[in-house]
Structure 1
Amino acid sequence: MSYCTAMKYMKPDDLVLHKIYHDTQYGFPIEEDNELFCRLILEINQAGLSWTTILKKQETFRKAYHNFDIKKVASYKEKDIQRLLNDAGIIRNKLKVNAAIENAKTIIGLQKEFGSFKNWLAHHHPKTKDEWTKLFKRTFRFTGGEIVNEFLMSAGYLPGAHDENCPVHKKVLKAKPLWNNKK
């Protein structure tokens, strides 16, 4: 079921939150590495939970992870891990916290080699969902098939974020997601 269809079945309070995300973020290309990292970490934290939970905690995540500044997160020490694990405003899962830190370190390496995380993604495009999943599992921590799929769809690297009859679909196409770029 697409996000567009799923929104029809949401509670009214949750619908407002999801509509903002659906209409302004989901499927649109992300240009900045810190925002790509943010989306990856939010998708990782969603595993086993609802996206509503993550959307409600999004601003607290930003504060807790220093606005997803890759260099800062990569330099986190044990005291930062304990701070995050004690923060009730985020998901307090040690595996997910450690994945954020290790993935930030990995992205720094990718930035050195490719100039940016975005360039690394573009370098590997196009790939199928399965190919992307294998690449992410080799490269990052805590990145299974659904996490990779949602991250790539939500950031404009894989199609399927919106139904073709969804009004936002046309806006996403105008924003030139990588999956729609003609070579």
Structure 2
Amino acid sequence: MSYCSYIETLVGDRKELNKNYHDKYYGFPIHDDNELFGRLILEINQAGLSWETILKKEQSFRKVYDNFNIKKIAEYTETDRQRLLADAGIIRNKLKINAAIENAKTILTLQQEYGSFEKWLEHYHLKTKEEWVKLFKKTFLFTGGEIVNEFLLSTGYLRGAHSEDCPVHKEILKQNPMWANQK
């Protein structure tokens, strides 16, 4: 079942939470490195949990991770790691917290080499899912196949976030014209 269809099975606050993400964020290109990195943090933290759990905690993640500021997170110390591990507003997993900090350092290096995290992603844009997974596993921590797939779908680097009959799909094609002629 696609995310588009799944939302129609939900009711109340659950439907509203997921529909807002589906209609305004999922699959849309992101052009800000901190927001791209924030999405990677959220996708990493979703591993083993529901996306709904992450959506409910998104504002807490933003707050405790300095609004996903790559430079600040790359400078986090052991004190910051302990602060994050103690914060019930986020997922308190040592491996995921460590991945966020180490991946921030990696992105700083990519920014120096490519000009931005976005330009690094664009440099590899038309890779297959399998090629992306290999690249991410070589480059970042805690990035398995599903994490990479969802990160790339959710940020518009892989086609297929929405079913083709979904109205949001058409809006994404307008914002990401390189997908218009590709199947």
Q: CA deviation at 1:179?
A: 4.4
Question: What is the 5 A alignment of 1:46-85?
Answer: 46-85=46-85
Report if aligned partners of 1:157, 1:179 keep a CA contact under 8 Å in 2: no
Aligned counterparts of 1:153 and 1:124: Cα–Cα separation in 2: 14
Size of the aligned set, in residue pairs, is 182
Question: What is the 5 A alignment of 1:2-151?
Answer: 2-151=2-151
Report if aligned partners of 2:137, 2:143 keep a CA contact under 8 Å in 1: yes
Secondary structure at the counterpart of residue 30 of structure 2: coil
Report if aligned partners of 1:2, 1:162 keep a CA contact under 8 Å in 2: yes
Aligned counterparts of 2:179 and 2:141: Cα–Cα separation in 1: 24
Unaligned runs of 5+ in 2: none
Q: CA deviation at 1:142?
A: 0.2
* Cα deviations by residue, 1:36-78 (Å, 9 ceiling, x for unpaired): 0000000000000000000000000000000000000000000
Secondary structure at the counterpart of residue 142 of structure 1: coil
Call closer, same or farther: CA 1:181–1:83 in 2, change over 3 Å: farther
Q: CA deviation at 1:181?
A: 7.4
Letter in 1 for 2:168: V
Unaligned runs of 5+ in 1: none
* 2:169 corresponds to: 169
* Cα deviations by residue, 1:86-144 (Å, 9 ceiling, x for unpaired): 00000000000000000000000000000000000000121000000000000000000
For normalisation by structure 1, the TM-score amounts to: 0.96
Secondary structure at the counterpart of residue 89 of structure 1: coil
* 1:158 corresponds to: 158
Aligned counterparts of 2:131 and 2:9: Cα–Cα separation in 1: 32
Q: CA deviation at 1:178?
A: 5.3
Secondary structure at the counterpart of residue 157 of structure 1: coil
Aligned counterparts of 2:99 and 2:155: Cα–Cα separation in 1: 19
For normalisation by structure 2, the TM-score amounts to: 0.96
Secondary structure at the counterpart of residue 161 of structure 1: coil
Secondary structure at the counterpart of residue 76 of structure 1: coil
Report if aligned partners of 1:137, 1:143 keep a CA contact under 8 Å in 2: yes
Misfit runs of 4+, over 4 Å: 177-182
Call closer, same or farther: CA 1:44–1:119 in 2, change over 3 Å: same
Report if aligned partners of 2:110, 2:117 keep a CA contact under 8 Å in 1: yes
Aligned counterparts of 2:129 and 2:140: Cα–Cα separation in 1: 16
Call closer, same or farther: CA 1:179–1:104 in 2, change over 3 Å: farther
Aligned counterparts of 2:145 and 2:106: Cα–Cα separation in 1: 19
Report if aligned partners of 1:29, 1:178 keep a CA contact under 8 Å in 2: no
Report if aligned partners of 1:29, 1:177 keep a CA contact under 8 Å in 2: no
Report if aligned partners of 2:173, 2:179 keep a CA contact under 8 Å in 1: no
